[in-house]
Amino acid sequence: MTYPIYIPSKGRAQQTTTIPLLLNEGLEINIVVEEEDYDNYNKEFGENSKVNILVLDKSNEGVYYTRNFCKEQAKDYKFHWQIDDNIKTFRRRVDNKNIKCSFLEIKEEMEEFSKKYSNIGMLSVIQAVWAYTKKTDYTYNVPGSSCMLIATDNDCWFNKGFIDDTDFNIQLLEKELCVVLFNRLLMDKVRSKKMSGGNTEHYESTKNKDRVDNMVKKYPGFFKMKVDKYGVCRTRTLIRWKVKFPQNLIEL
């Protein structure tokens, strides 16, 4: 069985890089948009038979709401894909080089991996810029993001007011599910601040302070707040992820 692909997108009908990339491979996708964006996305992609445009019940609720909508839509599947709308290319790490590949190759490899174990919470690729630092094929139980194959049959949800993906990853890990990063499967992304639309404005206006503060309070002793050179608040991890979450994959 292949798993459905959801691409949340906001205000980027003409800028999104992920949607044309996947459509060029002939893949069926679900584009998840707010009501006021529907006409623009329908104009760009609506005539493609591989496209299903899903409209959110509410607008301006943030990433957490959209991701939960995707997970709910996929409830009849064991896993589902959630992919950011600003991915330029996919790559595979071969002989210390990042070689372009199709998403279909990545999809097939990760979905096949998902069939081998009973306690997978999420599988994720990594950003190509970090590939040279990785010495192993996989990293276990650290947060995945941006291009995720997510287990659907659990009661973990994305929460408002938190660093969405990190909080969701921790929920999975606290249930002794495993998160696996594929260090040889890579993505190149357009930086969010280089594209209009999305939720960039929301994150910039709050400087992340409230979201980071909520993470520190929810997970005492695991995070502390730090401020980077741009004045943006971020989390600093006080305990190594693999020490806090040592569980291993369980073979089927």
The answer to whether residue 96 scores a pLDDT higher than 80 is yes
The enclosing H or E element of 211 equals helix 209-218
Residue 78 has pLDDT above 90, yes or no: yes
Q: What is d(CA 220, CA 155) in angstroms, rounded to the nearest whole number?
A: 22
Residue 13 within any structural domain of the chain? yes
Q: Is residue 249 part of a domain?
A: no
Tell me the per-residue pLDDT of 53-70, one tens digit each, with 9 for 90 and over: 999 999 999 999 999 999
Residue 152 CB neighbours (<10 A)? 18
How many alpha carbons fall within 13 Å on the CB side of residue 142?
14
What is the per-residue pLDDT across 6-37, written as a single tens digit (0 to 9) for each?
A: 999 999 999 999 999 999 999 999 999 999 99
Confidence of residue 193 (pLDDT cuts 50, 70, 90): low
Which tokens hold the place of 172? 């999975």
Check whether 206 has a pLDDT greater than 70: no
Please provide the size of the chain in residues: 252
- 206, burial (CB in 10 Å: exposed 0-12, middle 13-18, buried 19+): middle
In a domain, 127, yes or no: yes
Give the total number of structural domains in the chain.
1
Residue 237 lies in a domain: yes
At residue 73's C-alpha, the angle toward residues 67 and 77, to 5°, is: 110
> Positive or negative, the Cα torsion across 23, 28, 33, 38?
positive
195 lies in a domain? yes
CATH of the domain at 172: 3.90.550.10
% of the chain exceeding 90 in pLDDT: 88
- Report the C-alpha gap between 26 and 65 in whole angstroms: 28
**250 occurs within a structural domain:** no
List pLDDT tens digits, range 208-243: 889 999 999 999 999 999 988 888 888 999 999 999
Q: Please compute the mean of the pLDDT values over residues 174-190 and round it to a whole number.
A: 98
pLDDT at 50 over 80: yes
Q: Is residue 239 part of a domain?
A: yes
The contacts of residue 5 (CB under 8 Å, 6+ apart) are 22, 27, 28, 29, 30, 80, 81, 83
Determine contact, residues 159/61, Cβ cutoff 8 Å.
no
Which tens digit of pLDDT belongs to each residue from 117-142?
999 999 999 999 999 999 999 999 99
Q: Is residue 109 part of a domain?
A: yes
Q: Are 78 and 151 in contact (CB under 8 A)?
A: yes
Model confidence at 204: pLDDT above 60: no
- The per-residue pLDDT for 195 is 74
Domain with 40 in it? 5-244
Q: What's the rounded Cα separation, in Å, for the pair 157 and 29?
A: 22
Q: What is the pTM of this model?
A: 0.95
Q: Count other Cβ atoms within 10 Å, centred on residue 33.
A: 25
